[in-house]
């Protein structure tokens, strides 16, 4: 998907934002970054299908209209309802995760979206985290994107409590308070290799998670 949001997507995005705020009371915490109108890649933890809706809700309407979530085609293309939601209602860039059966390179699909002016919401863990660990190991896509498009700002975003609002298998959300914490942009250092960058980006995201005493930082 590229070329900007359709009227239907703009309306549905606004409606979802209102509903998300009503159910979760979500409020953004800009801890090191702020909306600036520039092109960005928001990288976040992933525990629920509603994660990207919460991130998008926290953006300004103009930024939301040109920000798309990267999602698995295997899930969002399965069945008429999911295809309609992902292709007509939501701002999604669908990538094929099965490397044996894929017909398009996921990296090229994301780069095409960036080249069309989109900002992206991605989940570097690659799948929903259903473990007790706060964050799974990152895959290499985040590194590959920043090497290919170094001018696009990378902003970590910690999504708090969404796994309890919309747990796996749930059809209706449970009203609970949520927050999204946006951290300082992460940049690739000169001479930094993939492993070092991925670990540093992962730690930047982990640093935004709430501590056991209830405070961040």
Predicted local distance difference test score (pLDDT) of residue 117: 95
CATH fold, domain 7-206, is Glycerol-3-phosphate (1)-acyltransferase (3.40.1130)
> Comparing C-alpha atoms, which of 178, 162, 157, 81 is closest to residue 128?
162
Q: Which two tokens stand for residue 113?
A: 């979206």
User: How far, in Å, CA of 120 to CA of 139, rounded?
Assistant: 16
pLDDT at position 125 is 93
- Residue 158 near residue 104, CB atoms below 8 Å: no
Q: CA–CA separation, 159 vs 163, rounded Å?
A: 9
Residue 122's nearest CA partner among 88, 99, 156 is 156
65-81 pLDDT, tens digit each: 999 999 888 877 777 88
Q: Hunting for tokens 């919401």 — which residue is that?
A: 121
| Under 8 Å between Cβ of 141 and 26 | no
Q: What is the pLDDT of residue 81?
A: 83
Token pair recorded at residue 13: 């995005």
pLDDT at 171 over 70: no
In angstroms, rounded to a whole number, what is the distance separating the alpha carbons of residues 37 and 117? 12
Say yes or no to pLDDT of 217 above 50: no
**Mean pLDDT of the chain, nearest integer:** 87
Mean pLDDT of 190-202: 96
pLDDT tens for each residue of 51-64: 898 999 999 999 99
R_g (Cα) of the chain, nearest Å? 16
pLDDT grade for 216, boundaries at 50, 70 and 90: low
| Domain extents in the chain | 7-206
Percent of the chain with pLDDT over 70: 91
């Amino acid at each position: 998907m590229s070329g900007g949001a359709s009227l239907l997507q703009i309306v549905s995005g606004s409606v979802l934002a209102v509903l998300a705020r009503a159910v979760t009371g979500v409020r953004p915490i800009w801890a090191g970054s702020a909306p600036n109108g520039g092109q960005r890649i928001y990288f976040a933890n992933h525990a629920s299908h509603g994660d990207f809706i919460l991130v998008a809700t926290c953006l300004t309407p103009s930024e939301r209209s040109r920000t798309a979530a990267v999602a698995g085609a295997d899930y969002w293309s399965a069945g008429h309802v999911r295809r309609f939601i992902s292709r007509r209602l939501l701002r999604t860039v669908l990538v094929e995760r099965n490397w044996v059966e894929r017909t398009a390179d996921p990296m090229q699909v994301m780069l095409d979206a960036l080249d069309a002016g989109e900002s992206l919401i991605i989940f570097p863990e690659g799948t929903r985290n259903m473990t007790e660990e706060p964050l799974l190991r990152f895959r290499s896509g985040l590194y590959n994107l920043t090497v290919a498009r170094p001018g696009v700002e990378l902003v970590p975003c910690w999504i708090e409590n969404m796994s309890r609002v919309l747990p796996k298998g749930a059809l209706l959300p449970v009203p609970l308070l949520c927050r999204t914490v946006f951290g300082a942009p992460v940049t690739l250092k000169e001479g930094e290799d993939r492993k070092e960058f991925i670990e540093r980006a992962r730690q930047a995201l982990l640093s935004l998670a709430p501590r056991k005493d209830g405070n961040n930082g």
